[in-house]
Amino acid sequence: MAASPALAGIGHNSNVSDFDLSRDEIDGLHLEASNWLDGKGVQSQDDADAIGRLLDMIGEAIRTAETRRKAEAKPFDDGKAEIQARYNKLIGDTKGSGKGKAILAREVCQAALTPWRVRQEEERRAAAEAARKAAEEAARQAALAFQVTRSDDLEGREEAEVLARQAKKAETAARRAGKPVATGLRMVVRAEVTDFPAFLRWVRENRPDALRGALQTIAETLSTQKTRGLPGVVYHEEPVAR
């Protein structure tokens, strides 16, 4: 391990900003760290003591920089919070802020319009279905008329032609009625698990990676909550310097 210069304190210059102070302090500590951390590891107790002091100084520099950051950002944070609070009254939509006036008005409008629009769409689909059936019946009648009319029956052929034209019009009307129209509705799919064992089997067979990831996240969460002894879970204690 390379020899290190003595750990020096950082002087204070009232003419520089708080950010400049933290920058200079952390730059110095970073340089000091580069002198010690050369990849050879700790070789002696003196090395360990020096790096421990350096680690303490870095931690203190981080805390000081964070304090300075908060102080410098406070006017902006306060201003942002005040702006956010004003706009939350209009367009806020979070658990913390509640619902703003525009959001509430929009939701009430949607609640009022949805039943009406659903009913209109149901009526349109019913009319389209009726038109489709009418067109099928008209086509059937026209085809039947041609089948039963003799080739030398002029009047019968004329009646069959009339039925054919009527069937064509009915087909056009059915096609027009079956076209989707803008209703202002959108379909929202909401999944609800009603049979957890069955769904778990499906995920295990078809999405094993997703299941492993979800179980790993659950295990890690329970571990941070001091839960131990879970079946199928091995706990690794790893020391980390503070």
In tens, the pLDDT along 72-83 reads 999 999 999 999
Same domain flag for 196 and 161: no
Same domain flag for 86 and 130: no
Please list the residues that pair with 99 across neighbouring strands: 93
Range of the domain at 24: 18-91
Q: Which of 222, 201, 198, 226 is nearest to 211 (CA)?
A: 201
Whether 8 shows a pLDDT value over 70: the answer reads no
Q: Grade residue 178 by pLDDT with cuts at 50, 70 and 90.
A: confident
Same domain flag for 32 and 87: yes
Domain count for the chain, please give it. 3
Same domain flag for 121 and 161: yes
138 within some domain: yes
Same domain flag for 127 and 157: yes
Same domain flag for 53 and 74: yes
What mean pLDDT is predicted for residues 32-48?
A: 86
104 within some domain: no
125 within some domain: yes
238 within some domain: no
Tokens of residue 150, six digits: 């003799």
| pLDDT of res. 108 | 92
Contacts of 35 (CB under 8 A, 6+ apart): 2, 4, 5
Q: Are 213 and 221 in contact (CB under 8 A)?
A: no
Same domain flag for 22 and 71: yes
What mean pLDDT is predicted for residues 201-207?
A: 91
Tokens of residue 7, six digits: 């750990």
pLDDT, mean over the chain: 86
In whole angstroms, what is the distance from residue 208 CA to residue 198 CA?
Answer: 14
What mean pLDDT is predicted for residues 59-80?
A: 94
pTM: 0.50
Same domain flag for 22 and 86: yes
Q: Are 109 and 138 in contact (CB under 8 A)?
A: no
Same domain flag for 86 and 122: no
6 within some domain: no
Distances (CA, A) of 85 to 92, 105, 110, 119, 225: 8, 19, 25, 39, 35
| pLDDT of res. 13 | 53
219 within some domain: yes
185 within some domain: no
Phi, psi of 75 (to 5 degrees): -60, -40
Q: Within 13 A of 90's CA, how many CA atoms are on the CB side?
A: 4
In whole angstroms, what is the distance from residue 68 CA to residue 78 CA?
Answer: 16
Domain limit, last residue, from 59, 91, 123: 91
Tokens of residue 11, six digits: 């002087």
Q: Grade residue 91 by pLDDT with cuts at 50, 70 and 90.
A: very high
Q: Say which range, 10-14, 168-172, 223-227, has the weakest mean pLDDT.
A: 10-14
Same domain flag for 211 and 174: no
| pLDDT of res. 106 | 85
